[in-house]
Chain A
């Protein structure tokens, strides 16, 4: 299978100052010499607890965070060396879906404006073609034309996440980074959004980097898994293999913590 993104030796350190007049400086390694490959057309899940560096990894891949060290090759372009227009074009190909659909949509913009913005930034089409594009996308994620004139607060959490997905996909990206996209949702809504993401993947040939702490969801959506802890890669492999015969103690511990297992654990 072809590799879409190749990240090598990624390192990022945060300096935390504490104590009187911030004299004590401690460093936290959010990413510690981490290398991953994302194959085209698959879903790669990144699992780990809070503070394991999952979100730093996601943000560094689209250069929302500048790394200390490492290289990122996306479609044979070195992400860390490009700038200006080239970076803009590359970023169009990598879109993000965020955890909190309440916080990631501008409350003062109507949905039509929220959807138009990325198309305008990347100068795609004229206003007529833009509108028809927006309309077909918003219908594809399960909303209606009249919803375009509403504001984000008029929607439920699940509907807002649908808008977030539509906004990410309107630019026809190849790689979609999903940062805990269903963690804030009810189980019933969660199931709807997962099914939607799965069907969109097939339809548009998308590659997903799916960040989550819920291992039950991983089983349903991912082909491959990487397990992170303290910025390091602990284990990686095919989903069935990681779940069926985990090699490291940490992965075993994570799997044993899946709710619904407590009685079996004892």
Chain B
């Protein structure tokens, strides 16, 4: 399809010393341009490895096979230098814990500037203007430009990370559990921000989460992963309201319901094993 910005085909991830142990097992998925796709699954399901494979940021102990085609270019075949030119510019990523991703001894202004300079050759004045513009977009007062990360709240730090990620106008933004460490009210603000950026800059988003509430808020399409495999994918309405796969049903049954009408049902893994066969 023409409107697919990214196409993953038969992706496998395995440790170098044990090629038979597949952590991600032969998955294929496509991201529609301008849409948000959520990957949902428990820890160990392979969601983060999938994201890191796209960025070609897998640990040196891991290897992968298959193809990852972004706008017609297979990222897997690129040299290290070529992939570095694309990282941040074409595809950018934000992570769960903003404190560990920011350098504690540099001001946020400097760090955002650094992110711009990697891909753009700007004069000092233009650079400053762009940093202020980015701070405005993500909703941080521009007088905080010389603040250090520890002087900001968790939500503000995540906003700085977002500012850095969108600084070179990437077409694809990968967000790996970006709101898991945040308070609910802050989480709602960050989700609002990401949603508005997606529309404003026609960005495609790949959003990794284990929270179905967040999925409902942000996703157009959903991919459910279990033990390294995709067990179900489809539009958000279809997957959340009419789940087909036993695992998706089981996972949805253990999400606490804010109305308190539904009982909590932990996953019965032995029954699930039988159902999947």
Q: Which residues of A contact B (CB under 8 A)?
A: 49-50, 157, 186-192, 194-195, 213-217, 219-220, 239-240, 243, 253-263, 265
Q: Which 8 pairs from chain A and chain B are nearest by CB?
A: A259-B213, A191-B254, A260-B213, A262-B217, A216-B256, A219-B260, A192-B266, A257-B188
Q: Can you list 29 pairs linking A and B with CB atoms under 8 Å apart?
A: A50-B154, A187-B211, A188-B250, A191-B254, A191-B256, A191-B264, A191-B265, A191-B266, A194-B264, A216-B256, A219-B256, A219-B258, A220-B257, A220-B264, A254-B185, A255-B258, A257-B185, A258-B258, A259-B184, A259-B187, A259-B211, A259-B217, A260-B217, A260-B258, A261-B217, A261-B258, A262-B216, A263-B216, A265-B188
Chain A neighbourhood of B54, CB < 8 A:
none
B39 to chain A, nearest CB (A): 14
Interface string of B193-221 (1 = CB under 8 A from A): 00100000000000000111110111000
Given A188-B42, A194-B264, A220-B256: A213 and B213 interface contact (C-beta under 8 Å): no
Interface-centre pick from A49, A189, A192, A257 (highest chain B CB count, 10 A) = A257
Complex contact A187–B251 (CB within 8 A): yes
Number of A-B contacts defined by CB within 8 Å? 105
B267 at the interface (CB under 8 A from A): yes
Given A216-B256, A260-B212: A50 and B42 interface contact (C-beta under 8 Å): no
Complex contact B218–A187 (CB within 8 A): no
Given A187-B251, A190-B254, A258-B213: A215 and B184 interface contact (C-beta under 8 Å): yes
Q: Which residues of B contact A (CB under 8 A)?
A: 42-43, 154, 183-188, 191-192, 195, 210-214, 216-218, 250-251, 253-260, 264-267
Given A188-B251, A191-B254, A219-B256: A259 and B214 interface contact (C-beta under 8 Å): yes
| Nearest neighbor of B264 in chain A, beta-carbon distance | A191
With A216-B257, A258-B258, A262-B217 already in contact, 10 other A-B pairs whose C-beta atoms are closer than 8 Å: A49-B184, A186-B43, A189-B266, A191-B256, A219-B258, A219-B260, A220-B257, A253-B185, A259-B216, A265-B188
Interface-centre pick from B253, B254, B267 (highest chain A CB count, 10 A) = B254
Chain A neighbourhood of B42, CB < 8 A:
186-189
In the assembled complex, the Cα of A263 lies from the Cα of B195 at a distance in Å of 11
Given A215-B258, A259-B217: A188 and B266 interface contact (C-beta under 8 Å): yes
Task: Give the residue of B217, B256, B267 whose beta carbon is less than 8 angstroms from that of A214.
Answer: B256
Complex contact A254–B210 (CB within 8 A): no
Complex contact A195–B183 (CB within 8 A): no
In the assembled complex, the Cα of A240 lies from the Cα of B259 at a distance in Å of 9
Chain B neighbourhood of A262, CB < 8 A:
188, 191-192, 195, 216-218
Chain B neighbourhood of A194, CB < 8 A:
256, 264
A239 to chain B, nearest CB (A): 8
Complex contact B254–A187 (CB within 8 A): yes
Complex contact B210–A186 (CB within 8 A): yes
Chain A neighbourhood of B254, CB < 8 A:
187-188, 190-191
| Nearest neighbor of A193 in chain B, beta-carbon distance | B266
Complex contact A191–B267 (CB within 8 A): yes
In the assembled complex, the Cα of A184 lies from the Cα of B260 at a distance in Å of 22
B219 to chain A, nearest CB (A): 11
Complex contact A187–B212 (CB within 8 A): yes
In the assembled complex, the Cα of A253 lies from the Cα of B185 at a distance in Å of 8
B259 to chain A, nearest CB (A): 7
B226 to chain A, nearest CB (A): 10
Chain A neighbourhood of B218, CB < 8 A:
262
Interface-centre pick from A50, A263, A265 (highest chain B CB count, 10 A) = A50
Complex contact A195–B266 (CB within 8 A): yes
A22 to chain B, nearest CB (A): 15
Complex contact B266–A213 (CB within 8 A): no
A47 to chain B, nearest CB (A): 9
In the assembled complex, the Cα of A190 lies from the Cα of B258 at a distance in Å of 15
| Nearest neighbor of B45 in chain A, beta-carbon distance | A186
| Nearest neighbor of A256 in chain B, beta-carbon distance | B188
Chain A neighbourhood of B267, CB < 8 A:
188, 191
Complex contact B183–A263 (CB within 8 A): no
Chain A neighbourhood of B251, CB < 8 A:
187-188
| Nearest neighbor of B247 in chain A, beta-carbon distance | A188
In the assembled complex, the Cα of A262 lies from the Cα of B267 at a distance in Å of 27
Chain B neighbourhood of A215, CB < 8 A:
184, 258
Chain A neighbourhood of B184, CB < 8 A:
49, 213-215, 254, 257-259
Chain A neighbourhood of B256, CB < 8 A:
190-191, 194, 214, 216-217, 219-220
